[in-house]
Chain A
Amino acid sequence: DTGVSQNPRHKITKRGQNVTFRCDPISEHNRLYWYRQTLGQGPEFLTYFQNEAQLEKSRLLSDRFSAERPKGSFSTLEIQRTEQGDSAMYLCASSPPPSGGRGTDTQYFGPGTRLTVL
């Protein structure tokens, strides 16, 4: 297993277009997370899935953003009507079920998808 993978690695789009990113977690990781990272900042939490259920969602995730994980494996993040402010690195992470009790899982990050909105 080579870790969390994300596609595409780079995406350039024009303002107003829709974009979709894909994340494939490490196999057998039932938890999946999306983050956004802008220049000079740390990653900001967007949303979290446990299996196919979306359990946490940040206020950063506006109505133009939607994430899915239909079969509890890969996930997609769609941004509709992109704006220049959406330009960022979109990171995906996954974690296994906690083995040491509640909250003891660790998140493993993918390489990210860099979005540029012109």
Chain B
Amino acid sequence: AQSVSQHNHHVILSEAASLELGCNYSYGGTVNLFWYVQYPGQHLQLLLKYFSGDPLVKGIKGFEAEFIKSKFSFNLRKPSVQWSDTAEYFCAGRSGGYQKVTFGTGTKLQVIP
């Protein structure tokens, strides 16, 4: 079955630390991958997306993710986190050409000032 898994459920970092959140997918064939963020009290917002082409995608607020096909991974990175990055992060994917998006269980990031 198509699935997306996030291995870190809760991450605590100090400001200025580097961030990497893991995401693995199990789709075969063409895949579209996404990272969404949900700040406290707000709705889901798209951080970045991968459809094809350059496997290193850059998103908003200094986030980036790398699509590594051989590892079925799409990890989210940020070189230096800020307190305002405290949020829940969801990795999501779908088979190319289909509309059903499957989300991971989310990673809660807490950044300590």
Contacts and interface: CB of A to CB of B under 8 A. Distances in A.
A106 B46 contact: yes
B28 interface: no
B90 A55 contact: no
| Range, interface on chain B | 20 to 34
B71 interface: no
Contacts of A44: 103
Contacts, number: 58
Give the interface size class of chain A: 20 to 34
Contacts of B100: 45, 48, 56, 58
B44 A43 contact: yes
Interface stretch (B14-22, B62-70, B77-85, B91-99): B91-99
A48 B99 contact: yes
Given A40-B105, A109-B44, A112-B43, A31 B99 contact: yes
Interface of A: 31, 33, 40-45, 48, 50, 55-56, 58, 91, 100, 102-104, 106-112
Interface of B: 4, 30, 32, 34, 36, 42-46, 49, 51, 90, 92, 94, 96-106
